[in-house]
């Protein structure tokens, strides 16, 4: 069994940058935001956790990554200093080798747990991360999908770049778990509209964002009418 040892911080491979491999990682569950109301003369509390939007919400989660390598004792002082200068208390995007189609985003802390044996040292970093991991592609890049990192069992193929509308066009944006408000980038629009869940929206040249279009998991059908070129930007998120 091959154990993934690479992680990427803001696109930088920790091995290539510092000669550090990832020996372990722990991704804690996202904190559940719950709201219960105690009512006298009622059995049990009233659960208002999904009362506002009809969906659950989450707080941040903690990701702990243990990094290590073999270096001379004098090199470790420089390495630890370089890691802190680059990432300590900074916002980062983290990609793991075994989940390359998603990134985690949060603020990184270098922990005070450095341990040095016979030139082999380890220490950990903690990321106070957003609850959802985000897809690395949003479907509007206009570049080919990287098939060498695509996981057919779990990943979702997205290509919504430069959609030609002449008459009508229906596009199914398959939603991941996180609610998302997509953006429509439009050019050469002539009486161009988009219909979603029985409501029609007028599209103008430039970037269009409608805050009452909130996609959910599964099929999200958009019907375009008129003439123009549309690129849909949808970046899904998963717990």
pLDDT, tens digit (0-9, with 9 covering 90-100), for 49-81: 777 778 889 999 999 999 999 988 889 999 999
* Per-residue model confidence (pLDDT) at position 144: 61
* Per-residue model confidence (pLDDT) at position 153: 61
Residue at 94 is within a domain: yes
Check residue 160 and report its DSSP letter: -
Last residue of a domain, one of 107, 131, 155: 131
Last residue of a domain, one of 113, 131, 149: 131
At 79, which CATH number? Answer: 2.40.30.200
Residue at 212 is within a domain: yes
**Which residue shows structure tokens 């890691």?**
83
Residue at 142 is within a domain: no
Q: What DSSP letter does each residue of 37-61 carry, written as one string?
A: E--TTSSS-EE-TTTTTSS-EE--E
- pLDDT tens digits for 120-174? 899 999 999 999 999 999 998 876 665 656 666 666 788 899 999 999 999 999 9
At 170, which CATH number? Answer: 2.60.120
Count of domains in the chain? 2
Average confidence score pLDDT of the chain: 90
* Per-residue model confidence (pLDDT) at position 118: 76
Verify that 172 and 94 share a domain, yes or no. no
- pLDDT tens digits for 25-37? 999 999 888 888 8
Verify that 20 and 117 share a domain, yes or no. yes
Tally the C-alpha atoms within 13 A of residue 102's C-alpha that lie toward its C-beta: 17
Q: Inform me whether the pLDDT recorded for 86 exceeds 60.
A: yes
Verify that 42 and 109 share a domain, yes or no. yes
Verify that 123 and 175 share a domain, yes or no. no
Using an 8 Å Cβ cutoff, are 18 and 75 in contact? no
Contacts of 198 (CB under 8 A, 6+ apart): none
Average pLDDT score over residue span 188-194: 95
Containing structural domain, residue 67: 7-131
**Strand stretches in the chain, DSSP E:** 7-9, 12-13, 21-27, 32-33, 36-37, 46-47, 57-58, 61-70, 90-96, 102-110, 115-116, 120-129, 133-135, 163-172, 183-196, 199-202, 206-209, 221-233, 237-238
Residue at 154 is within a domain: no
Q: Inform me whether the pLDDT recorded for 93 exceeds 50.
A: yes
């Amino acid at each position: 069994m091959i154990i993934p040892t690479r992680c990427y911080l803001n696109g930088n491979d920790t091995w290539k940058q510092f000669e550090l491999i990832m020996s372990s990682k722990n991704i804690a569950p996202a904190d559940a935001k719950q709201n219960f109301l105690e009512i006298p003369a009622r059995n049990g509390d009233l659960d208002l956790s999904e009362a506002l939007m009809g969906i659950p919400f989450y707080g941040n989660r903690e990701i702990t990554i243990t990094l290590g390598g073999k270096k001379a004792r004098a090199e470790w002082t420089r390495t630890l200093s370089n890691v802190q200068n680059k990432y300590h208390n900074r916002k980062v995007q983290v990609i793991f080798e075994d989940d390359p189609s998603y990134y985690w985003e949060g603020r990184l802390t270098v922990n005070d747990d450095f341990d040095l044996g016979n030139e082999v040292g380890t220490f950990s970093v903690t990321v106070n991360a957003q609850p959802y991991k985000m897809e690395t592609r949003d479907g509007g890049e206009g570049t080919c999908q990287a098939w060498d990192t695509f996981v057919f069992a779990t990943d979702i193929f997205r290509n919504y770049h430069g959609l030609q509308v002449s008459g009508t066009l229906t596009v199914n944006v398959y939603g991941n778990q996180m609610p998302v408000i997509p953006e429509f980038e439009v050019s050469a629009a002539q009486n161009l509209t988009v219909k979603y869940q029985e409501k029609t929206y007028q599209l103008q040249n430039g970037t269009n964002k409608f805050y009452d279009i909130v996609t959910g998991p599964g099929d999200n059908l958009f019907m375009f009418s008129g003439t123009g070129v549309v690129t849909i930007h949808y970046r899904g998120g998963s717990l």
